[in-house]
Amino acid sequence: MAIESTQTTSNTTDSKPWYLPKQVWSFLRRWPVIPVVVLVVLVFSAIFAQIIAPADPIKQSLDLRNAPPYWFDEGTTENILGADHLGRDVLSRIIHGARVTLLISTVALISGLIVGTGFGLVAGWFGGTIDEVIARVVDIWLALPFILVAVVVVMSFGQTLTILMVVLALTAWPAFVRNIRAEVLTLRTRDYVLMARVCDASTLRILFKHILPGVTNIILVIATLRVGGLILAEATLSFLGAGIPAPTPAWGVMISDGRDYLDSAWWISVFPGIAIFSVVMSLNFLGDWLRDRLDPTLRQVD
């Protein structure tokens, strides 16, 4: 922390004015400003969707059917990004869609994180047969054609928010296991861990008090890098019709809605895609940045 603060002060006390392109560029390269702004906007619009959105996201209107964005000749400021095939405002749907995206990906990530970390800790600490079994389960999991399985689960247990979260959590956990296991393997031979064992600390206590703090950096980095994947997976499921049920706005569903109107109303598909893309890209940027700061040895986590 001390090093970071000296870096910033030397940066700001630079003799050249801060607004020169070169200064701005180097500042943007050093700090993930743009990704953080994008993510703040995402969280903000997810929480205050009701207030920000200019229109009701599920209100249909025949007059506004496929209405173009406002910079077109026929466009109005009523529908800044146009309206979809049922006359619903695209911008409002994107803002409300942020809510679904944020909710599902956060819950799925946290549950996946807990399970994955648990397995990783256990595999690394106990080793032997348990380790072997966990490794095999992870391998099987990776071999499953995820999309087919996810669609089957959604069909079997119902197309609800909860099921969707569970399905995505199921895809999130293997990413954590391998890296955490590897780190635990090195941590368990450290002197302080051996001391704790000598002092007859219980396994649970060692795992949670001594090992877990050592892997939090890794958890944080993988989590940031994985959320993007989860958002993409959720969008893909929605796109294939196995995601959020119909009237609720979700980005993947919106893209799918616009498929049949590409020649007449491209904005229905294009703008939600841009939303997905900017959020995932920001998360990836942030993840890369965190990784370089916290744990450069994780370069291979993609």
Partner 1 sequence: MFMFISALGATAIVFLLSRMAGDPTLVFLESSGYGVSEEQVQNLRKKLGVDKPLVVQYGMWLSQLARGDMGRTLIGEKKVATVIREKFGATLQLAIAGWLFATVVGVPLGVLSAVKRGSIWDYLARGVALFGQATPAFWIAIIGVLIFAVTLGWLPSGLKGEGFSPKHFVLPAITVGWGAAAGYLRLTRSAMLEVLDSEYIRFARAKGVNMRVVIWKHAFRNALLQPLTASILLFAGLLNGQIVAESIFAWPGIGRVALLQGVWDNDFPLLTGAVLVFIMIYLFMALLADILYGVIDPRIRYD
User: Tokens standing for 210?
Assistant: 């001594």
Residues 6+ apart with CB under 8 A from 123: 130, 131, 134, 135, 177, 181, 184
- Specify the residue, 206 or 253, whose C-beta has the smaller distance to partner 1: 253
Question: Minimum Å distance from CB 155 to partner 1?
Answer: 5
CA 250 to chain centre: 15
d(CA 260, CA 235): 18
In the complex, least distance from residue 206 CB atom to partner 1, rounded to whole angstroms? 31
Residue 81 or 187: the one with the smaller Cβ distance to partner 1 is 81
Q: Which is nearer to partner 1, 211 or 223 (CB)?
A: 223
Q: 285 and 293 in contact (C-beta within 8 Å)?
A: no
- Residue 241 is classified by DSSP as T
Q: Give the interface with partner 1 as residue ranges (CB under 8 A).
A: 136-137, 139-140, 142-149, 151-153, 155-157, 228, 232, 235-236, 239-240, 252, 255-256, 258-259, 262-263, 266, 269-270, 273, 276-278, 280-281, 284-285, 299-300, 302
User: How many other CB atoms are there within 10 angstroms of residue 66's CB atom?
Assistant: 16
Instruction: Quote the least distance from Cβ 298 to partner 1, whole Å.
Output: 11
Of 47 and 140, nearer to partner 1 (C-beta) is 140
Q: Cβ 19 to partner 1, closest distance in Å?
A: 22
Letter for the amino acid at 296? Answer: P
State in angstroms the smallest separation of the CB of 285 from partner 1: 7
CB of 277 to partner 1, least distance (A): 5
Nearer to partner 1, 91 or 255 (CB): 255
Distances (CA, A) of 74 to 64, 79, 190: 11, 11, 69
Q: Nearest Cα to 150, choosing from 108, 119, 188, 114?
A: 108
Please identify, using beta-carbon distances, which residue of 10 and 300 lies nearer to partner 1.
Answer: 300
